[in-house]
């Protein structure tokens, strides 16, 4: 248990200290640690977390830390992960605020390094999105639904609203499929298309 709490604290501290840009930028590191290496989350549960972080108010990093911590080790896990997500930023900003209260950053190498990290994170997210796409977009319905939702996001529709619409559409689709499965079983036909 203590080991899990430490893993949560340490992983979220690492994410907060390394990842620039906030929000979904941390997804690749979360996937690497909790899905691929430690097998504490499945890829589907990772998507549940993404959906949750976009619908519940609050900053995305904190939402992700709390929900993953809760899933893996209960309330203590949520606290450990949240503390990890907050700790490095808190210390770094405190140092900057104490040392350079009025400073605006303008060193070209410093700015270059940050631009480089943002570009690198773009590649990492693209790799994660690739994998998520392969696992999620299994049929025609999924592809069309995801394309429509993506178009809505590109038109500036609020992400929380997109998740809510997706939940409504997904629930109705599952209900229709379940009905079809029932009818097929009654008539003793072949295996219907799986949902």
Partner 1 sequence: MLNILLLFLNFCKFGLLCFGGGYMLIPLLTAEFVGEGKLLTPERFGNLISISQLTPGPVGINTATFTGYISSGFPGSLAATLGLVFPTLLLAGAAMSFIIKFREHRVMKGILYGARLGAAALVFYAVLIFMELSLLTGPFDIGSIPAISPGALLITLSSFVLLKRFKWQTTWVILLSGVLGALLIPRIG
Residue number, 39 or 188, with CB nearest to partner 1 = 39
Q: Three-class SS of residue 38?
A: coil
DSSP state of 25: G
Report how far Cα 72 is from the mean position of its chain's Cα atoms.
Answer: 15
Cα torsion 71, 73, 79, 85 to 10°: value is -70
**In whole angstroms, what is the distance from residue 44 CA to residue 134 CA?**
12
Stretch that binds partner 1, among 2-10, 21-29, 186-194 (CB under 8 A): 21-29
Residue number, 163 or 184, with CB nearest to partner 1 = 163
156 near partner 1, rule: CB under 8 A: no
Least distance (Å) between residue 87 CB and partner 1: 9
Q: Three-class SS of residue 155?
A: coil
Residue number, 6 or 114, with CB nearest to partner 1 = 114
24 near partner 1, rule: CB under 8 A: yes
192 near partner 1, rule: CB under 8 A: no
What is the chain's alpha carbon radius of gyration, rounded to the nearest angstrom?
21
Helix-strand-coil split of the chain, %, nearest 5:
80, 0, 20
Q: Which residues contact 118 (CB under 8 A, 6 or more apart)?
A: 20, 21
82 near partner 1, rule: CB under 8 A: yes
Residue number, 160 or 184, with CB nearest to partner 1 = 160
Stretch that binds partner 1, among 2-10, 56-64, 184-192 (CB under 8 A): 56-64
170 near partner 1, rule: CB under 8 A: yes
Chain position carrying tokens 């690497």: 32
> For partner 1, which residue of 9, 78, 80, 84 counts as binding (CB under 8 A)?
78
25 near partner 1, rule: CB under 8 A: yes
- Yes or no: say if 43 and 31 are a contact pair by the CB < 8 Å rule: yes
> For partner 1, which residue of 61, 73, 80, 84 counts as binding (CB under 8 A)?
61
Site string for partner 1, 88-127 (x = CB under 8 A): xxx-xxx-xxx--xxxxx--xxxxxxxxxxxxxxxxxxxx
Chain position carrying tokens 């605006």: 104
51 near partner 1, rule: CB under 8 A: yes
């Amino acid at each position: 248990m203590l080991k899990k709490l430490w893993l949560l604290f340490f992983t979220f501290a690492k994410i907060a200290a390394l990842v620039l840009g906030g929000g979904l930028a941390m997804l690749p590191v979360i996937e690497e640690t909790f899905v691929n290496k430690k097998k504490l989350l499945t890829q589907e549960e990772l998507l549940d977390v993404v959906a949750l972080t976009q619908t519940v108010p609050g900053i995305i990093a904190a939402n992700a830390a709390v929900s993953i911590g809760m899933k893996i080790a209960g309330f203590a896990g949520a606290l450990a992960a949240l503390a990890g997500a907050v700790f490095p930023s808190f210390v770094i900003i405190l140092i900057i605020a104490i040392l350079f209260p009025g400073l605006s950053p303008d060193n070209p190498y410093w700015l270059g390094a940050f631009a480089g990290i943002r570009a690198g994170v773009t590649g990492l997210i693209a790799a994660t999105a690739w994998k998520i796409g392969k696992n999620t977009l299994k049929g025609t319905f999924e592809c069309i639904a995801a394309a429509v939702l993506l178009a809505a996001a590109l038109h500036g529709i609020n992400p929380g609203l997109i998740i809510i619409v997706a939940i409504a559409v997904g629930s109705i689709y599952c209900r229709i499929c379940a009905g079809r499965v029932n009818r097929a079983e009654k008539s003793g036909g072949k295996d219907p298309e799986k949902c």
